[in-house]
Amino acid sequence: MQNMSISEFISKLRDTFIQRNFDDVEETLIAREAMFKTKIKEKKKQIELFEKKFQMKRSDKVSVEIELKRVKEERYKNELVKNGGVVKEKLGSRRCIDEAVKKRKIVDLEDEKVA
């Protein structure tokens, strides 16, 4: 019975009860079925739209992360040039920056003595 359509199900029951009542019930159930099918289609379209938006957001996030990485690398390279080429794993290491500044000052002082 689970796989029967609404019309088939109603036809089977119709024999035992008043015909007019079953016609009304069948009409109501068919209208509900059509309404639910329409709602399901709308929900599927909404899901597709949300998936597209999600993919766009994910793509935007990846682009921003790539740009951020590029900017960090550029800042790191600029800091290395500015601080005499001292290479450490992280730019944020205060000790590394302090050492680079000291070395840069020593090089500048030596250049002044030569000139």
Read off the pLDDT of residues 60-81 as tens digits, 9 standing for 90 and up: 888 888 998 888 888 888 877 7
Residue 72 is assigned to a structural domain of this protein: no
Residue 71: CB atoms within 10 Å: 10
Residue 103 is assigned to a structural domain of this protein: no
Residue 83: CB atoms within 10 Å: 20
Cα 15 to Cα 3, 8, 30, distances in angstroms: 20, 12, 19
Residue 42 is assigned to a structural domain of this protein: yes
Residue 62 is assigned to a structural domain of this protein: yes
Can you give the C-alpha Rg of the chain in angstroms? 37
Sequence letter at residue 80 = L
Q: Where in the sequence is the domain holding 5, given as residue range(s)?
A: 1-66
* For residues 22-28, average pLDDT: 81
Angle, nearest 10°, between helix axes 19-82 and 6-14? 160
Q: Could you report the per-residue pLDDT of 40-50, keeping only the tens digit for each?
A: 999 999 999 99
Residue 6 is assigned to a structural domain of this protein: yes
- Give the DSSP letter of residue 92: T
In the chain, how many domains are there? 1
Instruction: Name the pTM for this structure.
Output: 0.47
Instruction: Pull the structure tokens for residue 102.
Output: 């000291």
Query: CB of 99 within 8 A of CB of 86?
Result: yes
